[in-house]
Chains A and B, each alone.
Chain A
Amino acid sequence: AQSVTQLGSHVSVSEGALVLLRCNYSSSVPPYLFWYVQYPNQGLQLLLKYTSAATLVKGINGFEAEFKKSETSFHLTKPSAHMSDAAEYFCAVNGGSQGNLIFGKGTKLSVKP
């Protein structure tokens, strides 16, 4: 069965600092992996996805993630945090045959001025 673990429910960084949000997955089949962002009072928005092409995936807003099969990881990074990046971030893996997503618990990112 597929699952996702996000390490750290809350991460705080200073503006301009590196953002690193961790995600490890478990999957019995080659996974499709996703990062979604949720701003307050809004729905989930796709940041990026891995679908077995390039292992380094670039997304919107300067975020990228690297798929590492040996470490079963798909960590999200951004070189320089911006105040507007403050939000909750969810890692997800494809679940069943109809594309349902299995989400991690989420990591709330705070950005300090």
Chain B
Amino acid sequence: EPEVTQTPSHQVTQMGQEVILRCVPISNHLYFYWYRQILGQKVEFLVSFYNNEISEKSEIFDDQFSVERPDGSNFTLKIRSTKLEDSAMYFCASSVGFLNEQFFGPGTRLTVL
């Protein structure tokens, strides 16, 4: 069964460093999403991506964040200069259409020290 994969499963970084979180969506999916979940809080939408551009983003997704689909398979989230409050679980998701089921990856736990 096809699945969304994410690497790494856990990333530890120093404040101010850049991190790149990687996702491989399901191959025939067209819509891609990043969400995050700070420990003990709700899952929050960050950004959606379609047709090689950002289609929607939340107020959390500021200039420190960027997304890219560098090739036909990977979908990345970059945080330019990490802050302590960026520590969270980051989930990638993909779907065939924007109202179809979103399939989620297992997440990357980001710890900023």
Which residues of A line the B interface, CB within 8 A? 32, 36, 41-46, 49, 51, 90, 92, 94-106
Contact = CB atoms under 8 A, between A and B. Distances in A.
Contact of B101 (A46, A103, A106): A46
Given A49-B101, A90-B43, A106-B42, A99 B95 contact: yes
A105 B50 contact: no
A103 B103 CA distance: 15
B79 to A, nearest CB: 19
A94 B45 CA distance: 11
10 contacts: A41-B106, A43-B4, A44-B104, A96-B56, A98-B48, A98-B55, A99-B33, A101-B35, A101-B102, A102-B45
A103 B106 contact: no
A98 B91 contact: no
Nearest to A96: B56
Interface in B66-113: 91, 93, 95, 97-107
Nearest to B9: A41
Contact of B107 (A43, A103, A104): A43
A101 B45 contact: yes
A95 B47 CA distance: 12
Contacts of B100: 99
A104 B91 CA distance: 16
Contact of A97 (B4, B56, B102, B105): B56
A42 to B, nearest CB: 6
Contacts of A104: 42
B75 to A, nearest CB: 15
Contacts of B99: 32, 51, 94, 99
A15 B22 CA distance: 39
Given A97-B56, A98-B55, A99-B98, A45 B104 contact: yes
A90 B35 CA distance: 14
Contact of A42 (B41, B55, B95, B106): B106
Interface in B24-69: 31, 33, 35, 41-45, 48, 50, 55-56, 58
